[in-house]
Amino acid sequence: MRTALVIGTGLIGTSIALALTGRGVAVHLVDHDAQQARTAAALGAGTDGPPAGPVDLAIVAVPPAHVATTLADVLGRGAARGCLDVASVKGGPRRQLEALGTAPEALARYIGTHPMSGREKSGPLAATADLFEGRPWVLTPTRDTDTEVLNLALEVVALCRAVPVVMDADAHDRAVALVSHMPHLLSGLVAARLEHADESAVRLSGQGIRDVTRIAASDPRMWIDILSANPGPVADLLTEVAEDLDGTVRALRSLQSADEEKRREGATGIEALLRRGNAGQTRVPGKHGTAPAVYESVVVLIGDEPGQLARIFADAGAAGVNVEDVRIEHATGRQEGLVELVVLPTAAPALTAALRERGWSIRP
């Protein structure tokens, strides 16, 4: 692939363009907002000038509601040898393309894809060339997909350093309802409880509430587009969640009972739910997409000063310890916080000793 056309210069489109441009592909940028395309070009994502002729691959990165019509236009005028989209739902666009009367030979030049990566921020200024590195990128070829188009899509995934995953389109939509769309709505439901809460309560917020509500900061307009394209599977999952919530409420009410037997029943119900949660959480892939390993944490008190994080990572590196993950919890109203360094159990004692030796305050 030598040339590409990226249609839609938001977070995903610009990030793809940055990755491709950085690896020698000549990228042309198009957006309904010409200023946004110019911004992406100024960031080094390509040129906002039109290509002289058909490109090797067109990448459609527009909101789900506009994917099918944009694809139909690109395929209809032969703007590219192949065409893919990166929308978060996959079954709908192909069915809509067929409904629009797209010829079978044109459909063969299209493949639906979905990079499983993103941020709470949107727009070209939030884009990074490494956004997809190590992340799954779903491809949904059909029996009719042209082999050359599949190869072009695989090349994009490789250039973005993502991990290709081949799935059926409708199976993909059910999967993202479970791991992306439903969690976003639940995050919003929890965050909505904070809107009118007493300030004295909100000030007690710790890392737990920050973790749960982080994705609730995303653009609601974008999520209306996403959810409108995949409402059925999300509604089915939320129905199951609602049943669990009803059972949890009943169990909690039982814990208020004066009857000891009812309190025991309530505790049993809550424990069963939490244990199911434990079992589900262990299935979430860990580092490198494999089953999560057992880790230990070394918690360090850190001042809110420039260079502190760099120092602590350098000291961990000097001790020969690889930090698997890191979490930061800021102390409310104080110029300090806690950094939780997640490491393999065998490395925790050495890291603790090394950091203490270098003057860091380790917390239990």
- Domain-terminating residue out of 253, 280, 307: 280
Domain containing residue 190: 174-280
Nearby residues of 11 by Cβ (< 8 Å), 6 or more positions away? 118, 119, 121, 122, 123, 124, 126, 127, 131
pLDDT of residue 201: 93
Is residue 291 one of the residues assigned to a domain?
no
Does 186 lie in the same domain as 156?
A: no
Q: CA nearest 115: which of 39, 72, 176? A: 176
Which tens digits make up the pLDDT trace of 314-354? 899 888 988 888 887 776 656 778 888 988 888 999 999 99
Does 261 lie in the same domain as 182?
A: yes
Buried b (16+ CB within 10 A) or exposed e, 301-339: ebeeeeebeeebeebbeebebebbeeeeeeeeeeeebbb
Does 147 lie in the same domain as 203?
A: no
Does 147 lie in the same domain as 255?
A: no
- Domain total of the chain: 3
Does 309 lie in the same domain as 261?
A: no
Is residue 87 one of the residues assigned to a domain?
yes
- Is the pLDDT at 291 greater than 70? The verdict is no
- Is the pLDDT at 261 greater than 60? The verdict is yes
Rounded to whole angstroms, the Cα distance separating 140 from 81 reads 18
Identify the CATH number of the domain in which residue 149 sits.
3.40.50.720
Is residue 82 a contact partner of residue 109, using CB atoms and an 8 Å limit?
yes
pLDDT of residue 292: 57
Does 320 lie in the same domain as 219?
A: no
pTM given for the model: 0.76
Does 351 lie in the same domain as 208?
A: no
**R_g (Cα) of the chain, nearest Å:** 24
Rounded to whole angstroms, the Cα distance separating 212 from 318 reads 34
Is residue 285 one of the residues assigned to a domain?
no
Is residue 148 a contact partner of residue 82, using CB atoms and an 8 Å limit?
yes
Identify the CATH number of the domain in which residue 184 sits.
1.10.3660.10
